[in-house]
Amino acid sequence: MSKFSEFAEARRKNTKMVPVPSVSIMPERDLGSSPALECLHLGIDFGGLKAVDDFNITVGKTEICGLIGPNGAGKTTVFNLLTKVYAPTRGTIMVDGHDTAGMNPARVNQLGVARTFQNIRLFNSMTVEENVAVGLHNQRHCGMATSILRLPHHWKSERYYHERALELLDIFDMTGLASNEAGSLPYGAQRRLEIVRALATNPKLLLLDEPAAGMNPSETAELMENIVKIRDQFHIAIMLIEHDMNLVMNICEGICVLNFGKIIAKGTPEEIQRNDAVIEAYLGKQKKEVEA
Ligand SMILES: Nc1ncnc2c1ncn2[C@@H]1O[C@H](COP(=O)(O)OP(=O)(O)OP(=O)(O)O)[C@@H](O)[C@H]1O
Ligand SMILES: [Mg+2]
């Protein structure tokens, strides 16, 4: 049995998806806790373009959820709304039961939303460890005077953050690269470092924008394993945008499909694969060309 089908098999055995009020589904095991994310009638307009409209979703506390759709569908825009890069034109975003209205990106990150970017955004001239330290920064409680005067608490806290950074890098077997310049890493390793930096902020909801882009098949298989490992180890929700359907169909428990800014389908991987609107959105053009 291939690695992909092993994952899909395990997912099918462990996950029972149940309906919830926002016309969504979530894993039955998460029903007792507040959802990691709830969006109600979320939308944003750019001039006359409704880039995202009436976006409703519930993501369970430990769910791996896929957000898919053709190019330009509005997927990255959803992540920009969730992280407050864009202020919504309408609708509500609840994170772990808290309404995020009026919050800025830093505040929503402290509340528990962390992300990676479609186009990698690392601090290239800083070391790998320093990039992770930037993520850890939002948990620092050491005052300015303590740091300037180099009081004992400063050194204790420095040691803690150094060890924590190495612990996080170890998830991807990257401790040996801690003192390398981030910009000198191969592409796949830079993508992994972005995930580590996001994890360093201690999220409840991790948003991954095309994490497998540019990776070769063995890197993708390893990434898939690591996404599941991160969810299991940190007990967090992960929402991922991905064009690699093997990855999506094998590790996501719930999937939401966007087309022209609107949700056209929500369901389990099995339901999504046989949904006519989804097949049309992805294959419609080719199908019509073949028929003509
Ligand atoms: N800041 C902006 N100003 C104007 N239009 C924008 C802005 N950001 C996104 N858009 C438009 O919103 C639509 C959705 O873009 P988005 O980047 O969210 O798509 P996507 O689903 O992530 O696509 P891809 O798979 O290619 O990454 C596109 O038509 C895009 O041009
Ligand atoms: Mg995008």
Residue 243 CA: nearest ligand 1 atom is 25
Residue 87 CB–ligand 1 contact under 6 Å: no
* Segment 195-225, tens digit of pLDDT: 999 999 999 999 999 999 989 999 999 999 9
7: helix, strand or coil: helix
Label residue 149 by pLDDT band (50, 70, 90).
low
Tokens of 193: 């470092």
Interval 89-115: pLDDT, tens = 999 999 999 999 999 999 999 999 999
pLDDT at 292 over 60: no
Provide the b/e sequence for 38-50 (b: ≥16 CB within 10 Å): bbbebbbeeeeeb
Give me the percent of the chain exceeding a pLDDT of 90: 75
* DSSP conformation class of 202: -
Per-residue pLDDT, 145: 60
How much distance in Å is there from the Cα of 49 to the middle of ligand 1? 10
d(CA 186, CA 169): 15
Atom of ligand 1 nearest to the CA of 74: 18
Predicted local confidence at residue 285, as pLDDT:
54
Q: Give the pLDDT score at 22.
A: 62
Ligand 1, atom nearest to 78 Cα: 18
Q: Which two tokens stand for residue 180?
A: 């390398």
Nearest to 55 by CA among 13, 17, 86: 86
User: Is the beta carbon of 76 within 6 A of some atom in ligand 1?
Assistant: yes
Q: What pairing do the DSSP bridges indicate for beta strands 254-259 and 262-267?
A: antiparallel
**Averaged pLDDT, 130-152:** 72
Work out the burial of residue 281: count CB atoms within 10 Å of its CB; fewer than 13 is exposed, 13-18 middle, 19 or more buried: buried
Reported as a pLDDT band with limits 50, 70 and 90, residue 290 is very low
Residue 73 beta carbon below 6 angstroms from any ligand 1 atom? yes
The closest alpha carbon to 237, from 101, 71, 62, belongs to 62
Q: What would you report as the CA-atom Rg of the chain, rounded to the nearest whole angstrom?
A: 20
Ligand 1, atom 4, lies closest to the CA of 46
Convert the pLDDT of each residue in 18-77 to its tens digit: 877 666 788 999 998 999 999 999 999 999 999 999 999 999 999 999 999 999 999 999
Q: How far is CA 219 from CA 115, 130, 222, in A?
A: 20, 24, 5
| Residue 281 near ligand 1, beta carbon < 6 Å | no
**Percent of residues, the chain, with pLDDT higher than 70:** 88
Question: Which pLDDT score is estimated for 4?
Answer: 66
- For the chain, the straight-line distance linking the first and the last C-alpha, in angstroms and rounded, comes to 39
Binding site membership of 71 for ligand 1 (Cβ less than 6 Å): yes
Lowest average pLDDT, out of 13-27, 80-94, 220-234, 238-252, goes to 13-27
